Amino acid sequence: MDSQKKHLNDRVLVYAVIWVISYAGSLLAFKVLAVPKAAGIVLTVITVLAFAVFIYKYYRSIFFMDEVQIKIQMEAVVIAFSLGLLLLMTLALLDFVVPLNKENWSYRHLVPLFAAFYFAGLFISKRKYNFDNEKHD
């Protein structure tokens, strides 16, 4: 079971790397090259499919986690989702008062922030459960 779990985790990591490369490659292509509309749509669909496969593989990997790891992951996702909504709400309200520069606050800038929110949630949740385990030892 442990080798199957490690293999599944390795595959999830591979799909994450594929998504990050496709996202970064698409951003680079859009910024540097004059990408025709059809090619831009194809790049977008490829990146979206890479992310969808990553999400699916990540979701499937949860079945092989123990209960504490599942709680950690779920708390990290809840924290990331909440922070993401907080950020979107703040930007939406601020945009009424102070027009936001789209070069600094477009959708493409929010994707890395959402990833950072997940990792912050993971850090917080892991610390919490490691602290709880240390108290019981």
Instruction: Give the pLDDT confidence score for residue 130 in this predicted structure.
Output: 81
Number of neighbouring beta carbons within 10 Å of residue 25: 13
Distance of alpha carbon 72 from alpha carbon 82, whole angstroms: 15
Which positions ≥6 away from 24 have C-beta within 8 Å?
none
From CA 71, how far away is CA 94, in angstroms rounded? 34
Neighbours of 131 (CB within 10 A): 9
Q: CA angle at residue 61 from 55 to 67, to 5 degrees?
A: 120
pLDDT at 137: 53
Written as tens digits, the pLDDT of the chain (137 aa) is 566 666 566 788 899 999 999 999 999 999 899 989 999 999 999 999 999 999 999 988 888 888 998 999 999 999 999 999 999 999 888 888 988 887 877 788 888 899 999 999 999 999 988 865 665 55
